[in-house]
Structure 1
Amino acid sequence: MSLIDKIKSLGSINTLSKHEQLVHGIIEAIDMGILVVGDQLPSINQMVSELGFARKTIVKAYEELKHRGLVESKKLKGYFIISQETKVTLKVALLMFSFQRFQEEFYNTFRKELGKRFQIDVFFHHNNLSIFETIFNNIKGKYGMYVVAPIPDAAVRPLLTSIEPQKLLIVDRFLEMPDDYSYISQEFEEATYYKLIELLPRIRKYKKFILFFSDDKDYPPGILTAFQRFVSEHEIASKVEKVYKEGAVKKGNLYFLISDTYLWELLRDCRNNEYVVGQEVGILSHNDHVVKEIVFGGITTISSDFKEMATRAAAHLKNQGTTQEIVPLHLMKRNSL
């Protein structure tokens, strides 16, 4: 049976619209092996001629098949089968910074919330603009939905706005976009500042407040701005260091770390020097983790709830519409400060 015959045979099912006949006909043709990856679908004009369907009906059906990740359109060439995973409702491209612990937490929750009918392909740009551009250009047009943790750089905005608003969700870092685009993002500057205000009595116990921050890493700039504003307004002795060097820990200092690598190195030095964390040395960490609840009596953290972010992102994909939300930062007060 040809593809056209298969579609015509579905016309006898009264519950199916013409658009649904076309979509189901192509899906069944894939399942039967009539269509395989690489095959070209009949042109829109051919479909109109042989089926008698309106042009907009054919376009709508082909676009739904693209949305499911079954079909890809190639400029001036037509529509081609790119997948035989017909059970998938939506094919999703998830573009993240890297597979760090909190991004892993986002991914695991996101996948669990969406379930098996959503295919998720994961890509990592490592905060590298060139890598971001290459990945984005390679995946553009091949997915029904794009969930992107963007590099906070204006250069990525034209890439992102080349995707229709209903097919793009910005997560994690906030990036200024046109009003009709959706986002579920963090805000760092104001949120971090007010969490530091909440910690002010504890911070004043220490002689110096030291933030480890480097411009050449993917640290949120808002954290640095919040720190500088806080220490200036409250006249707190402070310093910004780019890296933590082994053995550099000193009694009386409070350390604010974004990098978990530096955190573990600092804690090892505290142990080796037999310094009491939370009394002789203070520690504040960015991004929470179950390990930080346990080690050294608990590490105080300022963190977003990445599971909640993922749950909201999954709900957006299921419900469609427009979502514009800022996920709050949480302060976990523990014994390290």
Structure 2
Amino acid sequence: MQRIKINNNKLPKVKQIVLAIVAQIEKGKLLKDERLPSINEFSEQYSVARDTVEKAYKDLKEQGYIISVAAKGYFVQGKKDQRIKVLLVFNKLSSYKKMVYDSMLQTLGEKAKVDLQIHHYDPHLLKEILETSQGAYHYYVIMPHFFHGAEKEVCLSVLKMIPENELILLDKHVPELEGNHISIYQDFKWDIYYALKEAADLMKKYDRLVLVFPKYSHHPTEITEGVLQFCLEHQKGFSVVSSVGEEALLPQTAYIVITESDLALLIKKVRNSTYQLGQEIGIISFNETVFKELLDITVISTDFEEMGRSAACQILNGQVKKAKNPFHLILRKSL
């Protein structure tokens, strides 16, 4: 049996032992009929009480993972659940996250069981989630978006709690995190830059770009960097506002909108003005929806379904790679 860790203060030692042995059985590191250390051997090797080991082995027997043979010891019985166990931890719930979730489930099918939790941009909450689930899953799929003020070293230390061969990062690349883990990410700065560059001919009628970036939003700041880069190269004015409500409409201005609420308010303001959408006022919205298609709104969006599908395929095929997720510009009459 490979050495296990028993150092999690959030979990009782009995549960830590059970989860660690279950994980080795389900990952094929402990094979059927393989002998486990005796209670005394385990107690001595890991410096835990004999009663603790006895309770853990009893729990494992009741769950069907191990059996005891008189005068011979404890042996692995086999896997209880043949499915791959996946913990998916989003930063928040949204319709786009649902696309990722649904795509993962559809691709994994009956071969995996996926549990979902939310860390709400808080690395400390993510740490609590991981502490109580370590060893219980084959893969930990995490969206590493955190508060803008979150300390980078704290965030990295939390992500390092997961062995690299079990870690999958979605949506945001973390270049400071070394190791051979899976990563399927957006490149927020350059994705938006190249999307705007693709629409450069249409953008010629606009003298300035306004990015509507909510004040208390936790969206990646790299979005601002990408828009600024485009404006500098194409000699356009650029400003960032926290709300459409603060902005007086000016002609020859294109707005880049992140949230649905700001998009709805902006459309209403344009309709109540004398300006023509797609001529004097332009609108680009983040992330595709049927609602935006029906309203003929230009969209820049990553492929959320492909993100979920790609993660699931790497799980099923045992692949480990870092890949940029597809990003698209969908031109419509609002530009």
TM range (shorter): 0.7 to 0.9
Question: More displaced, 243-252 or 176-185?
Answer: 243-252
Alpha-carbon deviations, 1:179-228, whole Å to 9, x = none? 31111111111222122122222222123210112464221222111111
Structure 1 residue 49: deviation in Å? 6.7
1:50 paired to 2:78? no
Aligned partners of 1:249 and 1:266 also within 8 Å: no
Alpha-carbon distance change, 184 to 334 in structure 1, aligned in 2, over 3 angstroms? same
Q: Aligned AA for 1:155?
A: V
1:282 paired to 2:276? no
Q: Aligned AA for 1:121?
A: D
Structure 1 residue 131: deviation in Å? 2.6
Match of 1:273, SS state, is coil
Structure 1 residue 318: deviation in Å? 0.6
Name the residue aligned to 1:207: 207
d(CA) in 2 for partners of 1:293, 1:48: 69
- Map 1:1-337 onto structure 2 (within 5 A): 19-21=31-33, 40-41=59-60, 50=72, 86-87=80-81, 89-151=83-145, 153-176=152-175, 177-214=177-214, 216-245=216-245, 248-273=248-273, 275-295=275-295, 298-337=296-335
Match of 1:184, SS state, is strand
Match of 2:328, SS state, is strand
d(CA) in 1 for partners of 2:330, 2:71: 65
Aligned partners of 1:182 and 1:323 also within 8 Å: yes
Q: Aligned AA for 1:139?
A: S
Alpha-carbon distance change, 155 to 274 in structure 1, aligned in 2, over 3 angstroms? same
TM norm structure 1? 0.73
d(CA) in 2 for partners of 1:239, 1:208: 8
Alpha-carbon distance change, 270 to 321 in structure 1, aligned in 2, over 3 angstroms? same
Match of 2:311, SS state, is helix
Match of 1:139, SS state, is coil
d(CA) in 1 for partners of 2:182, 2:248: 44
Aligned partners of 2:123 and 2:158 also within 8 Å: no
d(CA) in 1 for partners of 2:197, 2:70: 66
Unaligned runs of 5+ in 2: 1-29, 36-55, 147-151
Structure 1 residue 87: deviation in Å? 4.6
d(CA) in 2 for partners of 1:47, 1:261: 65
Aligned partners of 2:126 and 2:158 also within 8 Å: no
Percent identity between the two aligned chains:
27
Structure 1 residue 243: deviation in Å? 2.0
Match of 1:109, SS state, is helix
d(CA) in 1 for partners of 2:308, 2:189: 22
> What is the RMSD computed on CA atoms of the aligned residues?
3.0
Structure 1 residue 248: deviation in Å? 3.8
d(CA) in 1 for partners of 2:90, 2:269: 32
Alpha-carbon deviations, 1:159-196, whole Å to 9, x = none? 22221122111111111221311111111112221221
d(CA) in 2 for partners of 1:266, 1:230: 22
Alpha-carbon distance change, 206 to 135 in structure 1, aligned in 2, over 3 angstroms? same
d(CA) in 1 for partners of 2:91, 2:113: 20
Structure 1 residue 239: deviation in Å? 1.1
Unaligned runs of 5+ in 1: 1-17, 24-36, 66-85
Match of 2:320, SS state, is coil
Match of 2:135, SS state, is coil
Alpha-carbon deviations, 1:259-289, whole Å to 9, x = none? 1221111112223336432123100111122
d(CA) in 1 for partners of 2:232, 2:70: 69
Aligned partners of 1:214 and 1:242 also within 8 Å: yes
Alpha-carbon deviations, 1:79-134, whole Å to 9, x = none? xxxxxxx5551121100121211111111111111113311111112222333233
TM norm structure 2? 0.74
d(CA) in 1 for partners of 2:253, 2:82: 54
Question: Aligned residue pairs: how many?
Answer: 277
